[in-house]
Amino acid sequence: MAEGITVGHEASHPALQHHFENLEQQREAGALGMWVFLVTEIMFFGGMFLAYTLYRTKFPAAFASASNHLDLTLGAVNTVVLILSSFTMALAVYSAQVGKRRNQLICLILTILLGLTFLGIKAVEYRDKYEDSLIPGSLIPGRPFNPAVQEHGQPYDKHKLHLLPGANVKNVEMFYWIYFAMTGMHAVHMIIGVGVLLVILYFSWRGRYGPEYHNPVEISGLYWHFVDIVWIFLFPLLYLLGRHLEH
Amino acid sequence: MKAFETFETPTAARVNYINAEYGLKSWLLTKDHKRIALLYLGSISAFFFIGGLYAMFIRLELLTPQGDLLSSTTYNKVFTQHGIIMVFFFLIPSIPATLGNFLVPMMIGAKDLAFPRINLLSWYLYLLGGIITIWALLAGGVDTGWTFYAPYSTTFSNSYVVATGVGIFISGFSSILTGLNFIVTIHTMRAPGMTWFRLPLFIWSHYATSLVMILGTPVIAITILLLAFERLAHVGIFDPANGGDPVLFQHLFWFYSHPAVYIMVLPGMGVVSELIANFSRKNIFGYKFVAFSSLAIAVFGFLVWGHHLFVASQSVYAGMIFSFLSFAVAIPSAIKVFNWTATLYKGSISYDTPMLYALGFIGLFTVGGMTGLFLASLAVDVHLSDTYFIVAHFHYIMVGGTLLAYLGGLHYWWPKITGRMYPEGWGRFSALVVFVGFNLTFLPQFIAGYLGMPRRYHAYPPEFQVFNVLSTAGASILGVGLVIPFIYLLWSMRYGKHAEPNPWHLPGLEWRTASPPPTENFLATPIVTWEAYEFAPPEEMQVIGKLKNEGLEVADAVIDGK
């Protein structure tokens, strides 16, 4: 079968797929594809943001009480960890573009480690919620949502739920469901991201990416930054809501 | 497919995408958009058949006023499953996944879609979702209606809601990936000279469809996911028992499911634009208006979902705004209908089968659209909501619109897809049967609904029987009209006349390569130097104009001649 007309010496580049005319077209398609995918992700998370907005407006006291019970320190540390990981990811993309293989490997490994750190801290937070019986519904069979509630005048106990006036425990449970749904979905995206970066790391180690061809590193970076940005929205909405009302 | 081995004519001896490779593996692992289109064609046909069986049971039950054939619970499952199969597994993938998959790269002069592997993945996701759904139907079925309204679906329904939801969730990703692939392909893979305003209108409408797919489908995905968790783990944001709001579910559901109507009908409009222009042998009237009206429908389509909630405790002010916006979406739809009609004016019209379907589409879509305006009016909707008027309205859009466009497109591109002609006489006959059968089925439902017959009941007051008998009779005719093309299209794959590369003598890019096309679509990258629907080069037009001025008759053949 006759070949289509191809342009320039890039036609012989091993990474060029047969249905693209040249590497530039392939790069554009890959990048646009990832941007479009990220748009779908925004809409996906959007459904949960809508539910959050609706019920936060409807049950402000319960949501503030539940939010105050989240671990602010761990949440804040995780935010820093993720922003750092985005920084190392950006450096990894840059190193691929300028063809510094060693830096590229170091930055990818750092990004993966930071991602895993985030997931580890998240796991600690989830365990704390489990211990305080804050997992909603029957998500964990045999461990229903049943937090100890701080009575008025009792000494401060960080394992107890401090209900603000007007807050209903049923709606606190709803907050925790939205919390687990949103952070859980975010964590799933983090896990996928780490998996993707491991693949990129392998090919990077094989020396596949350089100034001429680094599209996969770039679009994986886009995905990583997106997951990071989702957290940037989740953190204030879930953790910082109503802190000023505490005590 | 074996038929193609025995070709003896010189054109057939050539290597094309069908005979390039043989064996089951070469199909199941193919990355060729044309082969994937055929995989989709086979699978959506199977789902259409299943959905049709359910429709048959509905119509048989409604033949008599008593609930005698099916119990009320079985009937609930039958209409639910008819809706789910037809909407999610036939109508939504129908035109984009088959004709779109086949034609988007060919019409823009590309070798394939931008992401061939993702394209194959999307078919597998579709199939996986379909199989899970079919399993749920066989295991016990689902009775919530295709709308899955909470809290019935989350708490009370005693049927396979979660399994069906998982099936729809998975197949939704196939839709997202198809949309993503189309958008990237149309942006980055157009052949040299194929500018945006030289694109066939089929491409514009698929671009608009893809926008709806990528923006809407993720929302139904998360909605179904939350619904499934709510049902399984009793965590809740929809069930009032948990402090949730069932209307939130309706908002989220219709935020996707109303635009989904445009996923179904926009590709149909694209097909019809092709058919009307090409079978009138004229450039489409107001190309840019038709192109941008597709985008306008996609955008407006996202702002009208609230008209499904007029009787669902939505605030009256929201109702007024949604009513106004629903009226607004009629404008770009009407632009299309007017421009198609204006294209016909003084066109050199030939009434081949695809054109019959296209003309049927214009009529039926107009009826469906106009009755949509009744439903968009707040007060009238209170009377008509949940009656057969609604059922008739959306079947006019989905069957009268999408299905007719799909069949028209399938006939039109059949020679390109298979390399064989379908029997024209049978084609015209069945198009007519479908049209008559369809109208007889659904026109009486408008009246029954207007008189107050509610939907989703297996028994009804005897005064509605006459309409239901007419409707069931029409459905039988429609069924026959759909079986005929199924038989002769299969027949033509082996025995049909060999198709020329350009059997309709049209300027489109897809007609400038062999039938069936080679795997790479074009033997060399095409360079586009003509406008869309350019039936005569400008110089020739001038000559013809001069001849006309001199009072000479110009045969159509001269105008068409290349």
Q: Which of A19, A25, A177 has its CB closest to that of B236? A: A177
CA distance A55 to chain B (A): 8
Q: Which of B113, B187, B522 has its CB closest to that of A32? A: B187
pLDDT value at residue A153: 77
- Any chain A CB within 8 A of the CB of B219? yes
Are residues A39 and B214, on separate chains, in Cβ contact within 8 Å?
Answer: yes
Are residues A25 and B217, on separate chains, in Cβ contact within 8 Å?
Answer: no
Distance between CA atoms of B13 and B300, rounded to whole angstroms? 49
Distance between CA atoms of B536 and B369, rounded to whole angstroms? 35
- B 481-520 near A (Cβ less than 8 A): 518-520
Distance between CA atoms of A179 and A171, rounded to whole angstroms? 12
pLDDT value at residue B350: 94
Token code pair at residue B443: 């026109």
Are residues A4 and B218, on separate chains, in Cβ contact within 8 Å?
Answer: no
Q: Closest Cα partner for B541 from B522, B560, B527? A: B560
Q: Closest Cα partner for A135 from A126, A125, A145? A: A145
For residue B151, whether the previous peptide bond is cis, meaning omega lies within 30 degrees of 0, is: yes
Residue B198 DSSP class? G
CA distance A154 to chain B (A): 29
Distance between CA atoms of B249 and B227, rounded to whole angstroms? 8
Q: Closest Cα partner for B559 from B537, B527, B532? A: B537
Give chain A positions within 8 Å (CB) of B104.
none
Mean pLDDT on B470-490: 97
Tell me which residue has tokens 């554009």. A28
Distance between CA atoms of B209 and B217, rounded to whole angstroms? 11
Q: Which of A20, A47, A170 has its CB closest to that of B219? A: A47
Token code pair at residue A230: 């989702």
Q: Closest Cα partner for B164 from B237, B83, B58, B259? A: B83
State pTM to two decimals.
Answer: 0.92
Write the DSSP string, B131-185: HHHHHHHHHT---STTTT-TTIIIII--S-HHHHHHHHHHHHHHHHHHHHHHHHH
Distance between CA atoms of A52 and A57, rounded to whole angstroms? 8
Tell me which residue has tokens 């910082």. A240
Are residues A51 and B237, on separate chains, in Cβ contact within 8 Å?
Answer: yes
Are residues A47 and B525, on separate chains, in Cβ contact within 8 Å?
Answer: no
Q: Residues B61, B458: contact at Cβ < 8 Å? A: yes
Give chain A positions within 8 Å (CB) of B236.
137, 174, 177
Q: Which long-range contacts (CB under 8 A, 24 or more apart) does A12-20 make?
A: A13/A212, A13/A213, A15/A208, A15/A213, A18/B111, A19/B110, A19/B111, A19/B112, A19/B113, A19/B114, A19/B116, A19/B189, A19/B520, A20/B189
Residue B186: closest C-alpha in chain A:
A29
Tell me which residue has tokens 């038989």. B487
Query: B388 — phi, psi (to 5°)?
Result: -65, -15
- Any chain A CB within 8 A of the CB of B298? no
Are residues B235 and A177, on separate chains, in Cβ contact within 8 Å?
Answer: yes
Distance between CA atoms of B247 and B235, rounded to whole angstroms? 17
Distance between CA atoms of A168 and A158, rounded to whole angstroms? 19
Query: B420 — phi, psi (to 5°)?
Result: -130, 150
- Any chain A CB within 8 A of the CB of B217? yes
Looking at this protein, which amino acid is placed at residue B480?
Answer: V
pLDDT value at residue A18: 87
Q: How many helices (H) and strands (E) does chain B have?
A: 21, 0
Give chain A positions within 8 Å (CB) of B214.
36, 39-40, 43
Distance between CA atoms of B72 and B492, rounded to whole angstroms? 43
Are residues A45 and B222, on separate chains, in Cβ contact within 8 Å?
Answer: yes
Residue A161 DSSP class? B
CA distance B177 to chain A (A): 8
How many other CB atoms are there within 10 angstroms of residue B450's CB atom?
A: 16
CA distance A170 to chain B (A): 7
Alpha helices in B451-525 (DSSP H): 465-495
Give A244's contacts (C-beta < 8 A, 6+ positions apart).
none
Token code pair at residue B547: 């001849």
Give the number of beta-carbon pairs within 8 Å between A and B: 124
Distance between CA atoms of A176 and B26, rounded to whole angstroms? 49
Give chain A positions within 8 Å (CB) of B181.
33
- B 225-264 near A (Cβ less than 8 A): 226, 229, 233-237, 242-245, 248, 251-252
Distance between CA atoms of B15 and B419, rounded to whole angstroms? 12
Q: Which of B110, B180, B252 has its CB closest to that of A37? A: B180
Looking at this protein, which amino acid is placed at residue A31?
Answer: A
Q: Residue B2 pLDDT > 90, yes or no?
A: no
Distance between CA atoms of B164 and B183, rounded to whole angstroms? 29
Distance between CA atoms of A98 and A93, rounded to whole angstroms? 9
Q: What is the mean pLDDT of each run of 10 residues along chain A (247 residues)?
A: 42 82 93 97 96 95 94 96 98 95 96 98 96 92 89 82 90 95 98 98 94 94 98 96 74
Distance between CA atoms of B144 and B84, rounded to whole angstroms? 10
Are residues B523 and A4, on separate chains, in Cβ contact within 8 Å?
Answer: yes
Strand, coil or helix: A149: strand
For residue A136, whether the previous peptide bond is cis, meaning omega lies within 30 degrees of 0, is: no
pLDDT value at residue B539: 55
Q: Closest Cα partner for B470 from B504, B445, B498, B434? A: B445
Mean pLDDT on B534-547: 57
Tell me which residue has tokens 């080679």. B518
pLDDT value at residue B278: 95
Q: Which long-range contacts (CB under 8 A, 24 or more apart) does B6-14 make?
A: B7/B498, B9/B498, B11/B498, B11/B500, B11/B501, B11/B514, B12/B419, B12/B498, B14/B514, B14/B518
Give chain A positions within 8 Å (CB) of B180.
33, 36-37, 40
Beta bridge partners of A149: A161
CA distance A155 to chain B (A): 31
Give B312's contacts (C-beta < 8 A, 6+ positions apart).
B247, B250
Are residues A181 and B226, on separate chains, in Cβ contact within 8 Å?
Answer: yes
Run of H or E including A225: helix A215-234
pLDDT value at residue A151: 81
Q: Residue B548 pLDDT > 60, yes or no?
A: no
Residue B243: closest C-alpha in chain A:
A171
Are residues A41 and B218, on separate chains, in Cβ contact within 8 Å?
Answer: yes
- Any chain A CB within 8 A of the CB of B187? yes
Interface mutation target, options A23, A28, A36, A135, chain B, most CBs of B under 10 Å: A36
Give chain A positions within 8 Å (CB) of B223.
47
Q: How large is the C-alpha radius of gyration of chain A? A: 23
Interface mutation target, options B16, B182, B188, chain A, most CBs of A under 10 Å: B188
pLDDT tens digits, B328-340: 999 999 999 999 9
Q: Residue B529 pLDDT > 70, yes or no?
A: yes
pLDDT tens digits, B148-197: 999 999 999 999 999 999 999 999 999 999 999 999 999 999 999 999 99
Query: A149 — phi, psi (to 5°)?
Result: -105, 130
How many other CB atoms are there within 10 angstroms of residue B326's CB atom?
A: 25
Distance between CA atoms of B280 and B284, rounded to whole angstroms? 9
Give chain A positions within 8 Å (CB) of B218.
40-41, 43-44, 46-47
Mean pLDDT on B24-46: 96
Tell me which residue has tokens 């990936």. B177
pLDDT value at residue A9: 47
Mean pLDDT on B454-468: 96
Are residues A47 and B252, on separate chains, in Cβ contact within 8 Å?
Answer: yes
Q: Residues B89, B46: contact at Cβ < 8 Å? A: no
CA distances from B337 to B90, B139, B292, B341 (A): 25, 45, 14, 6
Residue B518: closest C-alpha in chain A:
A1
Q: Residue B10 pLDDT > 50, yes or no?
A: no
CA distances from B88 to A46, B140, B271, B391 (A): 22, 19, 20, 17
Beta bridge partners of A161: A149
Q: Residues B132, B166: contact at Cβ < 8 Å? A: yes
pLDDT value at residue A246: 66
- B 90-149 near A (Cβ less than 8 A): 110-116
How many other CB atoms are there within 10 angstroms of residue B515's CB atom?
A: 24
pLDDT-based confidence at residue B538 (cuts at 50, 70, 90): low
Q: Which of B185, B222, B236 has its CB closest to that of A44? A: B222
pLDDT value at residue B236: 84
Run of H or E including A53: helix A23-58
Strand, coil or helix: A162: coil
Distance between CA atoms of B334 and A180, rounded to whole angstroms? 46
Query: A164 — phi, psi (to 5°)?
Result: -75, 160
Query: B454 — phi, psi (to 5°)?
Result: -75, 155
Are residues A170 and B242, on separate chains, in Cβ contact within 8 Å?
Answer: yes
Distance between CA atoms of B494 and B12, rounded to whole angstroms? 13
pLDDT value at residue A142: 86
Give B260's contacts (C-beta < 8 A, 6+ positions apart).
B87, B92, B212, B216, B220
Mean pLDDT on B123-150: 96
